[in-house]
Amino acid sequence: MTDFKELYDRYAPQVFRPCIGYTNNIDQANDLVQDVFISVWKNLSGFRNESHISTWIFKIATNTCLRALTIAKRMPIEQLPYSLPEIIEESPEEKLAILYRCISELEETDRIIISLELEGLPQAQIAAVVGLSNANVRVKIHRIKEKLAQKLKAYEQFR
């Protein structure tokens, strides 16, 4: 069994990116990462090596994010400190913020799939996490990228 600290050091940055895609809020994403790794810690002894440990961790991350979204839907929506059309200069950080904002506007399953794709997970692992076939995941990734391209193009028009 792998040491927990090694797991955390290796996967926490990768888990953070899908979490920020869900929340579009750094503090909330950090909280979700902590929740994910608390769950990993509690359940590590029960990991049966039936899949890659990364698949297992991303499945926990996905479930944690989905639970957080369910809870967030019951609460009033926070306003972002800025609106995207106001962004004039586009530093790499601002471009990334726009991308994450676009991802956060996708449907839940699409957010999961594209976040895991951006993490470089093989499509077979993504399929295992979301419970779809490899072919379906491949098609969905293509369609999600098209949706994101349209959303990004729409934000460009507001500049």
pLDDT range class, residue 17, cuts 50, 70, 90: confident
The model's pTM is: 0.58
Distance of CA 153 to the CA centre of its chain: 21
CA 7, 13, 18, 20 dihedral sign is positive
Best CA proximity match to 2, nearest among 42, 67, 49, 35: 49
Arithmetic mean of pLDDT, 41-63: 88
For residues 75 and 60, give the distance between their C-alpha atoms in angstroms, rounded to a whole number: 23
Please give the CATH number for the structural domain made up of 4-157. Answer: 1.20.140.160
pLDDT value of residue 46: 86
Tens-digit pLDDT profile for residues 94-143:
788 888 888 988 998 899 899 899 888 899 999 998 899 999 999 999 99
